[in-house]
Structure 1
């Protein structure tokens, strides 16, 4: 009896100590001692501040280097420039374009899912803590989004459209280029529509699948095996049906668009963002400004396809002339749109180019005339507004989610420093610390 009683007392003590230890850890905060804190809203730098983080949120931002409480963790960022995690509004995590000679003849959904997980890790390590994935073959990034939330996989916060919605033969029709005997006409559930009723069904299916938003291909595209890269591919009635149904279900909408007419129709229908926007003119810009439509330029994609078009046999025969014509135009369109005051949200179309190189878009944007400060704002504050989460992300303020990165130099003065992100925190968890 003596031993049993003592054993019980011992176990009670162990349980108490364990409970106290867990409680201490739960109550512990993470303190970032920051030498230079960048306000992405105005470009100003605050010197010597402490960011106190509890759980996945920023608790407070105070002047000076606060003294830690017992069990608090201190992270020394006194020599760094700290700013909110970047957000990329146009990626394709489950793919990456390769030359025709290297293209796999068979790609299983399981392979795409594993590829997406690898791409997600690269993207997060590059300082992009949130992305909007626009277009999948199936459920890859919907599943990946959930796996990342559950801590099973490392990657950025994902907002995904699932499968793209296209029209028969349009950019996004998965049967383009296939022998007719090898497929049955794809359905709205599979992402191909030809009427307003089809459009409703396709949007509702994406809601059922768990998508966060809707991506449509309002015009032809560069990399699809189809002749035109710019013709309009939806009727006004189809577009109205898509946008109205998406609004009913609380889904954002994004339109791939190169040609003017397709852009114009999409903007008038109420689309939230235009992707690429190659042949955008003043009329379209004025429409976008009046309706608050965002422009996601993806200059990287245009630059990349223009360069690759110079390599013999890199692209299929139908793709090469489109890459040569459309690719070089995007940067000049971006310069005009920025000067005109169109709202711009950062996006790369990574998956055309390599994942993890997303930072290069900053260089292309600033080379086209955008200020460094506005480029940084486009990847933080403006992207958060486009996603309707500006109360959670885009700035380092009390109550916001703790998505925080650091670089070695002041990016407002030298934008090239974003190539080397040395610290990455997402949701209060440190994923990279090379300080």
Structure 2
């Protein structure tokens, strides 16, 4: 294609800046103030909120009006732990006969499903072939529909660890591109993954449920290796996330300066104390075991993986309860991809079942998540200066958190991208 044609194609595909628009609804949850606002009016210009008030004092002389009558507005949801390019219902042997780039297309479909249920931002912590970077670019160019993506690309890990390729026999010599051993090799991996588009550095500090020949509590990287990853990411202006189920790996990752701890299934009292003292965020996926235990065997998940899932399920949920009660910064991280992506929203109710108030659960997926991403000026609240990402739900989510499962409209940058009214 000639350069002029390439430029023309990009111009046609580029998203058009939104005009001024007034958004009204019956109610709005102010997550920063912790209150319900009656008859809100939100003025949006070029995708950002310029004013938040009530319908009695905010009007729009010129421009559009989106009236979400009968509904409650909440900020767009942020899922801090997803895998867009997976299909939990596909048996492993079928996955082996799909071509590599097939999974990019799977990711495009899953991105659309998450947007449909109210997730306007997701952090993708692990994908092959830089698929999540490609999805981010295609969504931003307006070629496909989906949430804002914070891509992690390849997860870093030790040889033979959870983030390595552990299912194929030695003759394949299979090795994940994110695998390295030793401080300097892992520093180099941070630079390489960032070079090609990663915006968060994901590392596997312990074994995991869905890998082979690794136990969930087993630490797999030394603290000095984790510190090298966290320091290198920080130098490049990136935050880091550690897959860590076991107590020793969790504590090593916290001491190393990792930003968020993923799963945290076997966290102990000392780990909870360290997380609170260090301001470390916990992202605990406490819903997906329901799906795995109900459907995993039918989907071809091996019994060894189902066993590990059973062993951590209740312990993780009680750890969530204790960490939340202790005042640790908690995030909404569903691990969507382990279960279908349109089920991620069901985790809100489980978070409330295990000790959170509905407001706390909502903050975990909005204001606290935005803070963990270092994007509190852009995301996480319906407030002036922030991107106009909102979800309109039926009912009062502060009284009944399952209202968050009933998205009737989704706005991204002030544009109505989902309308099921």
Same fold (TM over 0.5): yes
Structure 1 segments of 4+ aligned residues over 6 angstroms from their partners: none
> Which residue among 393, 399, 404 is the counterpart of 2:390?
404
Matches within 5 A, 1:14-93: 28-64=19-55, 66-70=58-62, 72-93=63-84
Match of 1:105 in 2: 96
**Cα distance change of structure 1 residues 412 and 279 upon mapping to structure 2, 3 Å threshold:** same
CA contact (8 A) 1:229 1:258 kept: yes
Considering only CA atoms, is the larger Rg found in Structure 1 or Structure 2?
Answer: 1
CA contact (8 A) 2:23 2:65 kept: yes
Q: Unaligned stretches of 5+ in structure 1?
A: 1-24
Deviation of 1:351 after TM superposition, in Å, equals: 0.2
Matches within 5 A, 1:352-363: 352-363=338-349
Matches within 5 A, 1:36-435: 36-64=27-55, 66-70=58-62, 72-98=63-89, 100=91, 103-174=94-165, 176-183=166-173, 186=175, 190-308=177-295, 311=297, 314-435=300-421
Q: Unaligned stretches of 5+ in structure 2?
A: 1-15
Match of 1:3 in 2: none
**Cα distance change of structure 1 residues 171 and 27 upon mapping to structure 2, 3 Å threshold:** closer
| Partner Cα separation in structure 2 for residue 305 and residue 258 of structure 1 | 17
CA contact (8 A) 1:305 1:327 kept: no
Deviation of 1:100 after TM superposition, in Å, equals: 4.1
| Partner Cα separation in structure 2 for residue 392 and residue 279 of structure 1 | 33
| Partner Cα separation in structure 1 for residue 93 and residue 182 of structure 2 | 37
Deviation of 1:324 after TM superposition, in Å, equals: 2.2
Give the match's secondary structure for 1:348: coil
Give the match's secondary structure for 1:271: coil
Backbone CA RMSD of aligned residues: 1.9
Deviation of 1:154 after TM superposition, in Å, equals: 0.4
Match of 2:6 in 1: none
What is the TM-score of this pair, normalised by structure 1? 0.89
| Partner Cα separation in structure 1 for residue 85 and residue 44 of structure 2 | 33
Deviates more, 1:27-36 or 1:160-169: 27-36
| Partner Cα separation in structure 2 for residue 87 and residue 194 of structure 1 | 32
CA contact (8 A) 2:89 2:299 kept: no
Deviation of 1:177 after TM superposition, in Å, equals: 2.0
State the aligned residue count: 405
